[in-house]
Amino acid sequence: MICESCNQNLATVHLTEIVQKHKKETHLCEACAQQKGLPGKDFVSAAKSQFSVKEFLGAIQGGPAKGQPAAEAALPAGLAEPCARCGLPFSEFKATGRLGCPGCYEHFRAGLVPLLEKIHGTTPQHVGRMPRNVGARVDREKLIAAFQRDLTLAVEREEYERAAELRDKIRALEQTEGTRTA
């Protein structure tokens, strides 16, 4: 890709700006980037080598600043013990940013939910793309759960005809699920 400023050199600095949901990409050579006061590729490689997952997670969690000792005793209940499945301690997750097994998600839930809420701004719930076969199953499970909530309400209100309709819909969805997985 050629530099968008001088139209001569190879673009090695790629700047992406997102302002009010509008994305603007700029591709510059090293010299044009320096003229515009932008950091070059040397800055980016130095920044990558200085990046610390532990500091990033600590900053998000409101933990100790760089150079301060970590207060492991201040961990919420349940985070002091390592994962029962793989033995990973929460302190190692904070240091590496990686969980050891699927069981860690549930075991460290008390520490992960607040962290994900700070990162994403909402309660963690997957809203991205999924494989078709998984997406259909998840949609069916959500629909069954909604019908079950409605069924409980209908029984409480003594709306037995409505409850019977919902029961039949739930059974039909569960049978559909059973035939697809068999």
pLDDT for the residue numbered 67: 47
How many CA atoms are closer than 13 Å to the CA of 138, on its beta-carbon side?
Answer: 11
Answer for the pair 116, 101: CB distance below 8 angstroms, yes or no.
no
Instruction: Please indicate, yes or no, whether residues 138 and 115 belong to a single structural domain of this protein.
Output: no
Q: Among residues 50, 79, 95, which one ends one of the domains? A: 50
In a domain, 57, yes or no: yes
**Residue 108 pLDDT grade (very low, low, confident, very high; cuts 50, 70, 90):** confident
pLDDT for the residue numbered 71: 45
Question: Which amino acid type is present at position 83?
Answer: C
Q: Is 22 helix (H, G, I), strand (E, B) or coil?
A: strand
In a domain, 116, yes or no: yes
Instruction: Please indicate, yes or no, whether residues 75 and 103 belong to a single structural domain of this protein.
Output: yes
Q: Among residues 97, 120, 143, which one ends one of the domains? A: 120
In a domain, 127, yes or no: no
Instruction: Please indicate, yes or no, whether residues 58 and 93 belong to a single structural domain of this protein.
Output: yes
Instruction: Please indicate, yes or no, whether residues 113 and 62 belong to a single structural domain of this protein.
Output: yes
Instruction: Please indicate, yes or no, whether residues 113 and 149 belong to a single structural domain of this protein.
Output: no
Q: Give the mean pLDDT of the chain.
A: 77
Q: Among residues 120, 140, 166, which one ends one of the domains? A: 120
In terms of residue numbers, what domain contains 112? 53-120
Q: How many separate domains does the chain show? A: 3
More confident residue, 60 or 10: 10
Instruction: Please indicate, yes or no, whether residues 73 and 108 belong to a single structural domain of this protein.
Output: yes
Helix intervals (H) in 67-108: 90-96, 102-107
Find the range with the poorest average confidence among 33-47, 51-65, 142-156. 51-65
**Residue 72 pLDDT grade (very low, low, confident, very high; cuts 50, 70, 90):** very low
In a domain, 6, yes or no: no
Give 102: exposed, middle or buried? Use CB within 10 Å, 0-12, 13-18, 19+: exposed
In a domain, 8, yes or no: no
